[in-house]
Amino acid sequence: MTYKLFSSFLLLTLSVGCTSMTPADSVRPPIAEKIPTEMNLHGIKRIDNYHWLRDDARKNRKVLEHLADENRYTKAQFSALEGFKQTLFDELIGRLDKDESSVPYLWHSHWYSRRYKPGFEYPLVIRQSEPNGVETLLLDVNLRAEGHDFYGLGGVSVSPDESIIAFGEDTLSRRIYRVYFKDIASGKLLEDELSGTDGHVVWANDSKHLFYIAKDPKTLLGFQVFRHQLGTPQSEDILVFEEKDDSFYISLGKSLDESRITLFNESTTTSEVSVLDADMPLGEFKPLLAREEGHEYSVAKLGSTYYILTNWKAVNFRLMKVGETEFGDKQMWQEVIAGSEQDRIEDFLLLEKFLIVQTREHGVSHLRVFPLAYDDESDICRDGNVEGEPFEIPFHDPAYVVGLDINARQGSDKLRLYYSSPTTPESIYEYDLTNLPTRTLLKQEKVLGGFESEAYQAERIFITARDNTRVPVTLVYRKDTFEKDGTNPLYQYGYGAYGHTIEPDFDSSVLSLLDRGVVYAIAHVRGGEMLGRPWYDDGRMLNKQHSFDDFIDVTRGLIEQGYGDKKRIVAAGGSAGGLLMGGVINQAPELYFAVAAHVPFVDIVTTMLDESIPLTTNEYDEWGNPNEKPYFDYMLSYSPYDQIKHQAYPHLLVTTGLHDSQVQYFEPAKWVAKLREYKTDNNQLLFHIDMEAGHGGKSGRYRRYQDTAQEYAFLLGLLGLNEVEAR
């Protein structure tokens, strides 16, 4: 296997087969005009020369022409890689099972599932009266998506009497949905339509009333809950709740026993749960426990008892229980499972006879089944007490992800889990809880193209960061291409925000890297929650620099241990992970040969000062409020846009969507413009704007892989691996 290294401009050196790329000087990169905008706060003056690239209406001719120029430039630079990109795309989608379907689950009197028709982008939503029975088509999403450049299916919800299906649609990629209703027997749409929603509805038990969340069209925050009665216009809907604090998100759900409709109000550090009797939809939502700053909790109901996952006097959460009428008095709460300084209780499932608890211990997920005291004669749970020793469900991969799948009936003695590892495709298991460890593999993701799990190896290691903190890292590589001698190219991914854990799961697209000799690494940096809640707290607010330090130190550690060639390290991240990429290339650009930053959040100070931008005020508890000087100074110290320097940068591919509702397109547009002005190298800087998509990129089962193929073509082409056939 021969590798090519490129230290000069890509277009002068890279070839694909016998076709040389266009000379670099024939197509010049767009140079944005500099129009200074002065910003003053806390005695500090900032000059933003590219503020003019912001156009909230997305109609400014000058801005759109500049974005079009960027796209033309990127297309020209990719011209000689188009064949390779198509090869990669065909490779990526060629691994997908053309007849992919989900495992049917029983709810009320039908088995519900989704499946794909070969070659189609979107699923069919179906149900059957019995397993393997005659299918009833509830929704053909392909038909709904016809004529739309982008189509996002929101929530799909069937009424309790199973006669009507409600579904949300977003055709602009702004995550604002219109909800439609369809009579299942006739197949006809009802006249009812709900616009401006978050895409989900929750039904009352009468199958006539339902609840939904309305979004603010400017901030895109869900802030109001309405009650709708079928057969009436939306204008007559009743406002039943309004969130006045714009630092909170709201969501709706339903208890597993279907007796309560639940309203969740959550900020970064505080939560509140309110309930409404699902048999009395004209009633009011009432908080189980009023919000208390810093208190986070969630609930599940069994009979008249609530189980509570809470961080009250437990940094990594503990599980408690209390009767419904006593919920408001925390002194009445009884501890079921104590908290731990090291191990985080992440989730739980409350069935009639069993309690299933998911924990993360030293970064590894564990699932334990606790029998509950149960009176078989009366067929009721006696008191919700744990009875007997728990059973731990065993897993043996060095790194893996496991979680609760759809468990739709509280009275079930069966438990469904999903399981995956970097070398194991997603698997759905069903456990017989009355006869553990008996399990049945219901389905495993098919990976076409000759995939063999045994050809790959996963590892889980720790790298010591500069402050002596041990950072977990997941690695996977192909055994017959890996030599732990510092000769393999290495692709490092990271995120590190919102307490979101990047799980070590299976991703068939990564095989296109592994089969070309690339080592794939996930750096589980602080800001995620891989090592519990303190791991998150140590990477947010005034601790955010730890995320950048961890990522950089992981790179250095992997090089030192022989996992990657120091001259061929590439990195990628998106959204808050794009912020991570922007920070590390400012702080340690020499470590990275090439970087892909997708929908990157890079102008953090300006964005967090602008409350008109969607989601800003929601995230003061994540990043800090720069209206306060300590946070302003700290955020400014790492802000990728503000900290651009006159220095050499890696090769860069930056992507965004014009209609992105999470990270507005103008952040990466400004970032790229300023990088072009400041960087001192001749490396590639390509910027691609999807003029139809939003934060999640392209829609559709196959089309979304076009973005992956573009990134891989860019990185593998630079690494000289475009001429190496995947194994």
User: pLDDT digits over 388-407, tens only?
Assistant: 789 999 998 999 999 999 99
Cα gap 565→517, rounded to integer Å: 12
Q: Which distant-in-sequence residues (6+ apart) come within 8 Å of 296 by Cβ?
A: 266, 269, 270, 271, 310, 311, 317
Are 657 and 599 spatial neighbours (Cβ–Cβ below 8 Å)? yes
Mean pLDDT of 113-119: 92
Mean pLDDT of 148-159: 94
Compute the CA torsion angle 502, 504, 506, 509 (nearest 10 deg). 60
**Of 155, 160, 204, 162, nearest in space to 184 by CA:** 162
Cα gap 63→47, rounded to integer Å: 19
Cα gap 437→431, rounded to integer Å: 7
pLDDT tier at 591, thresholds 50, 70, 90:
very high
pLDDT tier at 440, thresholds 50, 70, 90:
very high
Kindly give the pairing relationship between strand 209-215 and strand 189-203.
antiparallel
Q: CB count, 10 Å around CB of 25?
A: 9
pLDDT at position 205 over 50: yes
pLDDT at position 492 over 70: yes
pLDDT at position 92 over 70: yes
Burial 693-726 (b: 16+ CB within 10 A, else e): bbbbbbbbebebbbbbbbbbbbbbbbbbbbebeb
Cα gap 329→255, rounded to integer Å: 21
Q: Out of 36-45, 121-130, 366-375, 648-657, which region has the weakest mean confidence (pLDDT)?
A: 366-375
pLDDT tier at 17, thresholds 50, 70, 90:
very low
Kindly give the pairing relationship between strand 424-432 and strand 344-350.
unpaired
Are 226 and 240 spatial neighbours (Cβ–Cβ below 8 Å)? yes
pLDDT tier at 434, thresholds 50, 70, 90:
very high
Residue 119 confidence (pLDDT): 86
Residue 601 confidence (pLDDT): 96
Tokens coding 386 = 């744990």
Are 579 and 497 spatial neighbours (Cβ–Cβ below 8 Å)? yes
Cα gap 255→299, rounded to integer Å: 9
Are 295 and 310 spatial neighbours (Cβ–Cβ below 8 Å)? yes
Tokens coding 649 = 């940068």
Mean pLDDT of 52-73: 96
Residue 7 confidence (pLDDT): 30
Tokens coding 147 = 């004529």
Mean pLDDT of 315-331: 96
Query: Average per-residue pLDDT in the chain?
Result: 92
Are 142 and 151 spatial neighbours (Cβ–Cβ below 8 Å)? no
Eight-class DSSP state of 724: S
Residue 6 confidence (pLDDT): 28
pLDDT at position 511 over 90: yes
Cα gap 499→534, rounded to integer Å: 10
Q: Compare 389 and 179 and report the one with higher pLDDT.
A: 179
pLDDT at position 8 over 50: no
Burial-class residue 262 by CB neighbours within 10 Å (0-12, 13-18, 19+).
buried
- pLDDT tens per residue across span 596-647: 999 999 999 999 999 887 667 778 999 999 999 999 999 999 999 999 999 9
Are 324 and 353 spatial neighbours (Cβ–Cβ below 8 Å)? no
Mean pLDDT of 258-265: 98
Crossing angle, helix 705-718 and helix 82-94, to 10 degrees? Answer: 130
pLDDT at position 377 over 60: no
Residue 697 confidence (pLDDT): 57
Residue 695 confidence (pLDDT): 58
Q: Which helix (H) or strand (E) holds 539?
A: none
Please give the backbone phi and psi of residue 169, each rounded to the nearest 5 degrees, phi first: -135, 135
Q: Out of 237-241, 246-250, 293-297, 551-555, which region has the weakest mean confidence (pLDDT)?
A: 246-250
Which one-letter amino acid corresponds to residue 27?
V
- CA distances for 433 relative to 125, 355, 404, 439, 442, angstroms: 29, 10, 14, 9, 16
Written as one string, the DSSP assignment of 554-611 is HHHHHHHTTSS-TTSEEEEEETHHHHHHHHHHHH-GGG-SEEEEES----HHHHHT-T
> Hey, which residues are catalytic here?
575, 660, 695
pLDDT at position 725 over 90: no
Q: CB count, 10 Å around CB of 643?
A: 14
pLDDT at position 21 over 70: no
Which one-letter amino acid corresponds to residue 478?
R
Mean pLDDT of 405-424: 97
pTM: 0.91
Cα gap 315→576, rounded to integer Å: 24
**Of 419, 534, 526, 405, nearest in space to 473 by CA:** 526
Q: Out of 141-150, 178-187, 271-280, which region has the weakest mean confidence (pLDDT)?
A: 141-150
Eight-class DSSP state of 23: P
- CA distances for 463 relative to 176, 399, 470, 525, 548, angstroms: 42, 16, 5, 10, 14
Mean pLDDT of 554-576: 98
Tokens coding 351 = 């069935």
Residue 328 confidence (pLDDT): 96
pLDDT tier at 4, thresholds 50, 70, 90:
very low
**Of 561, 558, 496, 552, nearest in space to 521 by CA:** 558
Written as one string, the DSSP assignment of 202-250 is EE-TTSSEEEEEEEPTTT--EEEEEEEETTS-GGGPEEEEE---TT-EE
Residue 12 confidence (pLDDT): 29
Eight-class DSSP state of 447: B
Q: Out of 6-20, 25-39, 277-291, 544-558, which region has the weakest mean confidence (pLDDT)?
A: 6-20
Mean pLDDT of 58-74: 97
Residue 389 confidence (pLDDT): 86
Cα gap 703→698, rounded to integer Å: 6
pLDDT tier at 175, thresholds 50, 70, 90:
confident
Cα gap 601→614, rounded to integer Å: 13
Q: Where are the alpha helices (DSSP H) in 95-177?
A: 141-145
Angle at 264 between CA 261 and CA 269, to 5 degrees: 160
Cα gap 208→239, rounded to integer Å: 17
